[in-house]
Amino acid sequence: MTSTDPAGPPRPRALTFHGPLGEPRAADLTARLAAHQPATVLDIGCGWGELMLRVLAATPGATGTGLDLDEDDLARGRALAAERGLAGRVEFLAEQAAGTGHGPADLVLCTGASQALTGAAPPRLVPEALRELRRLVRPCGRVLLGEGFWQRAPRAEELALMWPDAAASDHPSLPELVDEVVAAGFRPARIETATPVEWEEFESGYREDVEVWLAAHPGHPLADVTRARVDRQRDSWLRGYRDLLGIAYLTLVPQD
């Protein structure tokens, strides 16, 4: 490809998971979630559904449904399912998750996608999403929730370097998040948090393909706008939420 090639920057194919989730944790989660033998799996904001596909592969006969609005990610998920012999057991649907009629399911995955379940803004976003997850999971089922939390209260100057209109109310602390889980009718069977290594793998992988493309195509018509976007994203992490924003992986059991 030359610098005048009309093709734009690539999608982030260096990522296995669209979030700070490393292989050791993914393997452990897959084994533990599959051990409950879910017959049905629902993945909210699934992207390409990597974790759902792994659970299905580990649970013979189980079927899955992934909901997302990104057609490119959904196409990638369908291709992965076909490669792994799972195409007949999983659907990737371009649908809104809020108010969905899919479910209840034995296992519901919602990792970094609570906003797909509700139009509520923080601080009501997580409680409203949890209410929807409680509706979507069967009795004795499981929910895997991947949700952000502040590791400490952010300072104003740190918030100014994050995403547009970032506010301290965007995320709870970890204890507050777990309190919201319990208030929504769940018991938190497991509480885990992403490590710095997992964060670095995600943040680097998210930009790696585009950074390589920019290095090879400095004169491309889309290079300037792409470079500005990527530099802004990197600065938001390095100068803003690095070591401040955490991700909790909570395995939830609905309480009668």
- Of 136, 83, 91, whose CA–CA distance to 113 is shortest? 136
Q: What is the pLDDT of residues 39-92, one digit of tens each?
A: 999 999 999 999 999 999 999 999 999 999 999 999 999 999 999 999 999 999
Question: pLDDT tens digit string along 245-256?
Answer: 999 999 999 998
105, part of any domain = yes
**Higher pLDDT residue, 193 or 6?**
193
How many structural domains comprise the chain? 1
What is the pLDDT, as a whole number, of residue 6?
56
Cα separation, 202 vs 205, whole angstroms:
5
Burial label for 45, CB within 10 Å (0-12, 13-18, 19+), is buried
**Residue 18 covered by a domain:** no
Q: Is residue 159 part of a domain?
A: no
pLDDT band at 7 (very low <50, low <70, confident <90, very high): confident
Distance CA(192)–CA(182), nearest Å, equals 16
Could you give phi then psi for residue 176, rounded to 5 degrees?
-65, -40
pLDDT, position 13: 87
Q: Is residue 2 part of a domain?
A: no
In this prediction, residue 14 has a pLDDT band, given cuts at 50, 70 and 90, of confident
The predicted model gives 2-24 an average pLDDT of: 83
Domain of 173, in residue numbers: 23-152+164-195+245-254
Split at pLDDT 50, 70, 90, the class of 12 is confident
Q: Residue 131's domain is classified under what CATH number?
A: 3.40.50.150
| Residues pairing with 142 in the sheet | 107
User: Is 209 among the domain residues?
Assistant: no
Is the pLDDT confidence value at 4 over 80?
Answer: no
100-135 pLDDT, tens digit per residue, is 999 999 999 999 999 999 999 999 999 999 999 999
The two tokens of residue 221 are 């018509």
Residue 84 lies in a domain: yes
Distance, CA of 174 to CA of 149 (rounded, Å):
6
In a domain? residue 129: yes
The predicted pLDDT at position 104 comes to 98
Average pLDDT over the chain, rounded to whole?
A: 96
